[in-house]
A and B are shown apart, each in its own frame.
Chain A
Amino acid sequence: MSKLTLTALATITALSVSGVANAEKLAIIGGTVHTMTKRGVIENATVLVENGVITKIIGQEISTDNSYRVIDAKGKVVTPGFIGAFTSLGLVEVGSWAGIVDAQAKSDLNAALDATLAVTPDSTLRNITRIEGITSAATSLYGSDSMFKGRGAMITLGDNDEPVTKKRAFMVVDLSARGAHHSGESRAAMWFNFRTALNEAIYAQRIDFTPQTEWSGTLSKENVKALIPVIKGDIPLLVEVHRAVDIRRIIHMTKNFPRLNITLVGATEAWRVADEIAKAGFEVILNPESNLPSSFDNNGATLANAGRLHEAGVPVAIGMNTHNIRLAPQHTGNAVANGLPWQAGLEALTTVPAKIYGIDDQYGSLKPGMKADIVVWSGDPLEVTVSPTNVIINGDEVPLESRQTKLRDRYLKIDKEKPQQYTRP
């Protein structure tokens, strides 16, 4: 294997981005690089990173000067950092009976709820998640007392004091049976209320609200204001829905509200209306392992959902969990085992969620100028026995450590001579 030397490549260092301090210069050498771009898969490639962004991807192994920290990726697989498609990361530490859970709100502010205000970078979930290859995520509330769950944020799982990379990035509405539960206990009420909310947002677009503004809508001023970017299509509307008939209904509604930028979430029966979803241009975020008729909303549940949607031309994103969003690659592997092409599986964890949230100019693929969120895997990342060997977020290689790995190291050998609390891994 002939090697170029780095200094021969003048363009490599030409691209520099200001504003990212202390980011390492990295060279990831020798891996099979899945760029998720038109360049496709590059064997024995070198990925160069500087100031938090990718500067160059070279189709061969090179040797670098000392300014680069070298990661040996020979025999390994290199992918973009995976994006948690639908999580509550940073909003919940322990869900049950352990104090405030910011991901659940009891408030009159429903559409207006703002996850940005609650996200913490210090959650123990951050390191536990990122060392398994998830480097950024969409995060939103999972509970409110109305069909709306407010506005979610995009976050990075890097060592940032401010994890939010895009605030008020999307709106979540639950139009499944659970949404109906919060909206008159009937879809007859829920859909009416939903349509009313959108209509009020259309009227509200023209109003410059002050505390004195007279407003007689059914939504509060704050809630209706929050829906304005949704009705204008400036932020995506994530619609949690399962029944085929409800999916048809939301497709039908887009005729009256053509600018809505809709992504379906859950969508157990989406495969039944796959062609219509493709035509409507919706993406779908799903859990491919949902195959039980867990309610009358889900009688059509099948492991083939993801594969059938893909075949119809619907972009599919995978990853609906929080504490175990790290299992998204396993879920994807199971979608692949049931009909989703492998490449579409990798897209489901990278480019598709990036596109849904409008961050595909920075996240989800590997090419010069993109954020350096990169994961080196010991093998096929969709295999349950494979794990990351290196995780790079914003250009920094993060230690593969978490509260869990510290517990692991403390108890790897039980010391019977002294209390375990004196063992500091």
Chain B
Amino acid sequence: MKNINKVLFGGLSVLSMATLVACESDKAESADKEQAPFVEIDKNPYPSTYKALASLPTLITNVTLVDGIGGITENTSVLLAEGKIKAIGNNLDAAGAKVIDGKGKWLTPGIIDVHSHLGVYPSPGTGSHADGNEMTKPVTAAVWAEHSIWPQDPGFRRALAGGVTTLQVLPGSANLVGGRSVTVKNLPGRVIQDMKFPDAPYGLKMACGENPKRVYGKKGGPMTRMGNVAGYRQAWIDAKAYQESWAKYKADYEAGKDAKAPKRDLNKETLAGVLDGEILVHMHCYRADDMGTMMDLMKEFDYQITSFQHAVEAYKIADRLAENNICSAMWADWWGFKMEAYDGIRENVAFVEQAKACAIVHSDSATGIQRLNQEAAKAWADGVNAGVDISKAQAWTWLTSNAAKSLGIFEQTGSIETGKNADVVLWTADPFSTYSHAEKVFIDGGLAFDMNSPETWPVSDYELGQVAEGDQK
């Protein structure tokens, strides 16, 4: 059933902008002259203007390489050139490349944080800048996080110093449907378009449980979990009808009828994008039973939940998460700040890994994002102590390849393999140590941060002329 839907209704969506333009002109020639021009929705009206930093070919030698897909190689070399990972191994032909001796150091793919509110809840935490939660009605699929992000948030630079090369910025979790997320490269830009990860799909933030009922309980509802679920179901029913109205328009138009395009509805447009398989659902859920209900919901409406975010109780249903192909993005040890976080355990990530489900370590924090290597290290050590056999190399997939897969960008980043974007971090030592630093951070081959060269440290506009401008952070 799912595949048939995709064929029937997904046809429009897979077309890129370039082919859309071509289609329109083709149609204009062949269509009935009485037909108005076919109405096509521009799905990318705020395109990325990202440009990589200038870079020189760089050879990192003698390094311990963690490839981000489960492998670890001692004493090897990696060549970065033209923004890509050009070659891996020994005796590489790297004439003219800048050589960095990586002896005693570790090289990993850049960390990808799948859950951040940098920019939408920036520092300083003023009401003026708090643009992360459109708490006006339970379903705000129409809003896009990228329209809130303040690229001058000093938090981006702090995350860079922690080896974060890519992050997903999400709206907050007050709403059943919070709005679209955006995936950005962690290279500070003047406008958010400069940071947008080229060709990354959009995500949709949804939220289970306590937050929506707490926020809306006295504002017309939902005020219960059953009210939450009724809200999601109605939203999907409306989105399906909207999706079908556009499909009908297209079919009628192609049949030569004088069809009128439906009125656009931004809320339903985003939800229909999920039903079309173009927009990935990242759902904030803590409790196992909530996640169970959401898995039924996705089957009822024939879409895929890409990830549960926070997933504090994922360990209770790790087998079902594996069966349903849903990632869990988790903290190493946050617990107890609200009832739905009360059953948090330190082995959560390891148990999800053990069940062969997709495990991700995320931050949801402007300070936690700076030390995701340590968060993964804790989760790894706790798992090992509990008897779960996981290697460090496997644990690193929680920060890179699994994260990239859940954001739909694994073809470009998330592992050190030839041809991938040169998003890599050189660590001063084993990054499973508290004392290890991200010494050099490369994004698309450009040196975005070097802890030993203060001139490479980005300083946000906000921090210029303030106390401690340009200081060690």
Contact = CB atoms under 8 A, between A and B. Distances in A.
Interface of A: 93-98, 124-125, 128, 244, 269, 272, 289-296, 298-304, 323-324, 326-327, 330, 333-334, 336-338, 382-387, 404-405, 407-408, 411-412, 414, 416, 420
Nearest to A292: B123
Given A293-B123, A304-B471, A336-B435, 11 more contacts: A128-B335, A272-B467, A292-B123, A295-B126, A301-B468, A333-B435, A334-B371, A384-B434, A387-B385, A408-B346, A411-B351
A299 B467 contact: yes
Interface stretch (B221-229, B375-383, B408-416): B375-383
Nearest to A378: B385
B432 interface: yes
A411 B377 contact: no
Nearest to A335: B434
Contacts of B218: none
Contacts of B301: none
Contacts of A291: 158, 367, 370, 473
B124 interface: yes
Closest A-B pairs by Cβ, 4 of them: A333-B434, A385-B381, A96-B338, A300-B467
Contacts, number: 142
Contacts of B338: 94-98
A98 B123 CA distance: 29
B240 interface: no
A128 B344 CA distance: 11
Nearest to B375: A384
Interface in B337-371: 337-339, 342-347, 351, 355, 366-367, 370-371
B125 interface: yes
Contacts of A408: 315, 345-347, 386
Contact of B462 (A293, A304, A333, A420): A293
B333 interface: yes
A407 B124 contact: no
B254 interface: no
A293 B154 contact: yes
Given A293-B466, A407-B345, A323 B335 contact: yes
B432 A385 contact: yes
A416 B317 CA distance: 11
A269 B155 CA distance: 18
A178 B432 CA distance: 36
Contacts of A382: 434
Q: Which of B154, B315, B345, B463 has the most CB of A within 10 A?
A: B345
Contacts of B347: 408, 412
B257 interface: no
A412 B385 contact: no
Q: Taking chain A's interface residues, is the majority helix, strand, or loop, or is none over half, making it mixed?
A: loop
B84 interface: no
A304 B472 contact: yes
Given A299-B466, A411-B351, A95 B434 contact: no
A45 B333 CA distance: 33
Given A98-B338, A291-B158, A407-B343, A337 B125 contact: no
A377 to B, nearest CB: 12
A295 B380 CA distance: 34
A401 to B, nearest CB: 13
Contact of A303 (B344, B351, B472): B472
Interface centre among B155, B347, B437 (most CB of A within 10 A): B347
B119 to A, nearest CB: 13
Contacts of B472: 302-304, 338
A303 B333 CA distance: 22
Nearest to A409: B386
A289 B381 contact: no
Specify which of B351, B381, B433, B434 lies most central, judged by the most chain A CB atoms within 10 Å of its CB. Answer: B434
A60 to B, nearest CB: 30
Contacts of A330: 374, 378, 434
Nearest to A243: B467
Interface string B303-322: 00000000000011011000
Nearest to A331: B434
Contact of B473 (A96, A302, A420): A302
Give the one of A96, A300, A386 with max B CB within 10 A. Answer: A96
Interface in B92-138: 123-126
Interface in B127-165: 154-155, 158
Contacts of A304: 471-472
Nearest to B381: A385
B367 A323 contact: no
A292 B367 contact: yes
B336 interface: yes
Nearest to A382: B434
B85 to A, nearest CB: 28
B391 to A, nearest CB: 13
Contacts of A412: 347, 351, 386-387
Contacts of B158: 291-292
Contacts of B46: none
A299 B380 contact: no
Given A384-B381, A385-B380, A94 B126 contact: no
B251 to A, nearest CB: 46
Contacts of B355: 414
A94 B367 contact: no
Contacts of B339: 94, 96-98
A202 to B, nearest CB: 35
A255 to B, nearest CB: 25
B123 A404 contact: no
A124 B125 CA distance: 32
B432 A323 contact: no
B214 A294 contact: no
A384 B374 contact: yes
Given A98-B338, A296-B124, A420-B316, A384 B345 contact: no
A333 B433 CA distance: 9
B210 interface: yes
Contacts of B351: 411-412
Contacts of B371: 289, 334
Contacts of A293: 123-124, 154, 462-463, 466
Contacts of A269: 467
11 contacts: A124-B336, A291-B158, A293-B463, A300-B471, A302-B468, A302-B472, A323-B337, A404-B344, A408-B346, A411-B345, A414-B319
Most buried by B among A292, A304, A327: A292
A335 to B, nearest CB: 10
A302 B471 CA distance: 7
Contacts of B432: 384-385
A331 to B, nearest CB: 10
A300 B472 CA distance: 10
A94 B342 contact: yes
Contacts of A387: 381-382, 385
Interface string B253-294: 000000000000000000000000000000000000000000
A250 B362 CA distance: 40
A405 B381 CA distance: 15
Nearest to A339: B472
